[in-house]
Amino acid sequence: MKAFSLAPSAALVTGSTKGIGHAIALGLREAGAEVIFHGSKRPENLPAGNRFLAANLQAAAAPATLIAGAFRELPGLDLLVCNAGSFFDVPFLEMGPDRWERTMNLNVRATYFLVQAFARELVARQRGGAVVIVSSTNGFQSEDDSTAYDTSKGALVMMTRTLAQSLAPHRIRVNGLAPGLIHTPLTDSWLGGKKPETRRHYEKKILLGRIGEAVDCAGAAVFLLSPAAAYITGQVLVVDGGLTVGQIGKL
């Protein structure tokens, strides 16, 4: 079905050197889009020929600079995936302003101003486009020792809705993706330390019986950016294998 093709679009995917962002970037490329990968520094394992831009999105000016560079690289840029984010939490009573600011600067502020800079460029060029903001099921459900992260992901859920409303008159769709428990370098760092019975507990809680893989998020992102989703904006698509559907899970 041609409606799912992303040719001849061009996309920037932030935080795409590993994990979910990398899988999404590869998925967009497979669907026909030209893709710019992004990270704080160029990874050694990025295949030759892939476009890449480096930027530390903690810096206030970085979102606008990155978007300007992306349009220089691909003037036809019309798709944006805001995936860059991380986890800096410690237990709530130990949290300090520095960790809070790091979380909000990267997960929330950078996303907001990336979309703003992207939208300004599209409006100046008088063309529409589409955005996917990667949030998390943590934007709906809290987790132990994750207060700042959970708060940031909840902010991204509302950001998706309010930016969809603001940008609809400019023919720019904004949707969100909320992954559940997915194998990534970030989650594997703590999943690997869990006891086998704890891991089995997670697998029982997920209706499809397994922890997700990063590639499970790629198709959803392709869909939301494609003409097949032309009448969808302001929505957050949960990709969690049913993790948040049942209350208890299998015993």
End-to-end CA distance of the chain: 41
* Residue among 92, 217, 236 at smallest CA distance from 161: 236
With beta carbons less than 8 A apart as the criterion, state whether 79 and 12 touch: yes
The three-class DSSP label of residue 17 is coil
**149 catalytic residue (yes or no):** yes
Please name the residues in contact with 53: beta carbons below 8 A apart, sequence gap of 6 or more.
Answer: 12, 36, 37, 38, 66, 69, 70, 73
In sequence order, what are the beta bridge partners of 238? 178
- For the annotated catalytic residues, the residue numbers are 149
